[in-house]
Amino acid sequence: MVRMNMRNCGGTDHLSPTLYHSGLSGDVEAVIEHVIEQHGLTAVALIGYSMGGNLVFKLAGERGQSIPQLKAVVGVSPAMDLAASARELHRPWNWAYEWKFLRGLKNRYRRKISLFPHIYSLDRLVGIGSLWDFDDRITAFYSGFESAEDYYYRAASTRVADGIAVPTLAIHSVDDPFIRMLSETRDILLANPNVTLVETNAVATAPSLLTRVDTMVTGPSALCLHSCCTPVSWKTNHCKKQGPPHLNRVALLSGVPCDTVIRLT
C-alpha cells in the first residue's frame, strides 16, 4: 500500500510554494506514474476518502482507460458536490466540524506565510468565518480560480464522473453530517455501468468507514507516501500488525486483483 498525503500535509509545507485543493487530480496521477515506474506494477487501485474520494473519481473520469495499470477505484464518502457540502458544513449544527477544519486550514496557511512571505499575505485571513470564506479568499485566489463557487464547480468530480471507465465503488452515507451527494450526481453514478453506488442509512463519516475499508484492502506493511509535492518524499512505514499480505483483497470491492493500493486520506 502507498499512502498519499496532499501537498503541505505530513510536514511537507516547505517542499512546495503552492496550496492543496480538491481539484489536484494531476498530483494523484503523478504519484501513480512514480509508483508504477519505481516498482514495475501492472495493476493499481485507488482509494480516496472524502476529499480524496473526489480526487480519485476526478482522475478516473478525466483519464478514462488511458492509464492501463489503473484497475479499480474506491471512493468513501466522496466529496463530489463541493459547493453543497460547504453550505451544509456551515449549518449551525455542524459548527464543531467547521471550526476544526478552519482552525487547521488557517494554521497551515500561517505556516505557508512564514515559509513564503513573498507569496502569501496574512491580511487575506481577516474576516474568514466559514470554509466557503476560506476557499473564496485563500484557495481560489492563490490557485487560479475566480471565486469559491468557480473552484467548487471546476474541482468537482461530478463533471467528469460519466467518463469513469474502470470498476469503481462509491460508498456514501445518506445522512452524512455535511458531505452531500446531489440527485444529479447520484443519477450520473447510477447511469455509469462501471460504477457501483452503495448508500448507507446510518451516519458513517469518512473516518468511521475508513477503518472498515482498510480492514479489507491493506496488508501488514505499507509503503506510505507522505507528500505529493515536488520533490516526492518517500517513507517506509510498518503501520499494520505483521501477517500475510492482503493487498489483493481490493478484489472484494472491485472484482479486480491489484498489486498495490494507493490510499488518499
Residue 228, pLDDT score: 29
Positive or negative, the Cα torsion across 24, 26, 27, 29? positive
Is the pLDDT at 102 greater than 90, yes or no?
Answer: yes
What is the signed CA dihedral for 245, 38, 227, 144, rounded to 10 degrees?
Answer: -130
> pLDDT tens across 206-239, in order?
444 444 444 333 332 222 222 222 223 222 232 3
Report the C-alpha gap between 251 and 57 in whole angstroms: 18
Secondary structure, 3-state, 8-64? CCCCCHHHCCCCCCCCCHHHHHHHHHHHHHHHCCCCEEEEEECHHHHHHHHHHHHHC
pTM over 0.85: no
pLDDT at 174 over 60: yes
Residue 203 banded pLDDT, cuts 50, 70, 90: low
Tell me the pLDDT band of 4, cut-offs 50, 70 and 90. Answer: confident
Distance CA 57, CA 59 (A): 5
Residues of the chain with CATH 3.40.50: 2-81+161-264
> What CA–CA distance (Å, rounded) separates 70 from 12?
27
CATH entry 3.30.410 includes domain 2-81+161-264 = no
d(CA 178, CA 164): 25
